[in-house]
Structure 1
């Protein structure tokens, strides 16, 4: 390939890669300017399994998602398999699924992970900010304060549990007005 052809091809590839990176780094409003460090260590075996999303800060990659779930399992290579699923625009809408992988951040008590859904080049930050002692609920965020998920083992927990979770999210410094409840 001549230099005259190689340079435009390289420039086009770099532009495409940049646009792809921008698409994965969609940003919403900051709902917590001072995200706290995770409150508790996480026993990975107890955290694995299915979680139902009760509420989230809306993000472009989840726009229109209802009946959202996250399934975590161990992979043979020691990483964690993450399968996020939702129904598009309605609880009985078309199924959307994305398969990713996560690795634990050393020294975090298993409460911080790096997660990727877009290959080996981009890993997002995932912090288990708090969780129930019995692993029945979890509050997940990341340092920028733009993303937040409230997860539960039960898609429809009792009202008292939901109220306590919303209060805990508020106590962690999050703006509750940005929460978008997920229908199940």
Structure 2
């Protein structure tokens, strides 16, 4: 294979990987004036678009804490209803741009990162609307196991307006 084709192939692969790391769906903009210290702690998953790494999980939580290097420790935990056992994954998140912008990259698998975009957040940090690099990933998170119908409807409307298929959301048991 000629060298220029190898280089072209490498550049294409790197471009695809960077899209996963920092990309975002059209019409989705991360919040500004983000305060990571207020975001730390435990969040309950109210709704999500289902995907392989959370398929079949209920009682899903995400817990965020600061690492000594200022990155964010991420612990996702859920109860597998098929296997009747708890599953947990630990990862690390870093800011894509500035720490006051709700756009992070998260890794659970070594050097591979995925985009984590907070595009709606209650002023009291009680609920958040989060996506990844495309329209296949969406989460509605809350500090409590239940979210008021008013806030839930607001987030469902916003998600639908920017292009997410909210009819495909699942609502895990808490």
Segments of structure 2 that go 5 or more residues without pairing to the other structure are 1-19
The corresponding residue for 1:116 is 107
The match for 1:147 among 137, 142, 149 is 137
Q: What number of residue pairs does the alignment pair up?
A: 152
Q: For the pair shown, which has the larger CA radius of gyration, 1 or 2? A: 1
The corresponding residue for 2:11 is none
Shift of 1:40: 3.3
Aligned equivalents of 1:183, 1:74: Cα separation in 2: 28
Aligned equivalents of 1:122, 1:160: Cα separation in 2: 37
The corresponding residue for 1:102 is 93
Aligned equivalents of 2:68, 2:131: Cα separation in 1: 27
SS in structure 1 of the partner of residue 112 of structure 2: coil
SS in structure 2 of the partner of residue 183 of structure 1: coil
Cα displacement string for residues 74-125 of structure 1 (whole angstroms, at most 9, x for unaligned residues): 01111100000000027x9311100100111123633111110111x20111
Aligned equivalents of 1:143, 1:41: Cα separation in 2: 21
CA distance change for structure 1 residues 108 and 74 in 2, over 3 Å: closer, same or farther? closer
The corresponding residue for 2:167 is 177
**Maintained 8 Å contact 1:51/1:151:** yes
Aligned equivalents of 2:84, 2:27: Cα separation in 1: 34
Aligned equivalents of 2:89, 2:62: Cα separation in 1: 10
Aligned equivalents of 2:137, 2:107: Cα separation in 1: 15
What TM-score results when the alignment is normalised by the length of structure 1?
0.75
**Maintained 8 Å contact 2:129/2:141:** yes
The two structures, once aligned, show a CA RMSD in angstroms of 2.1
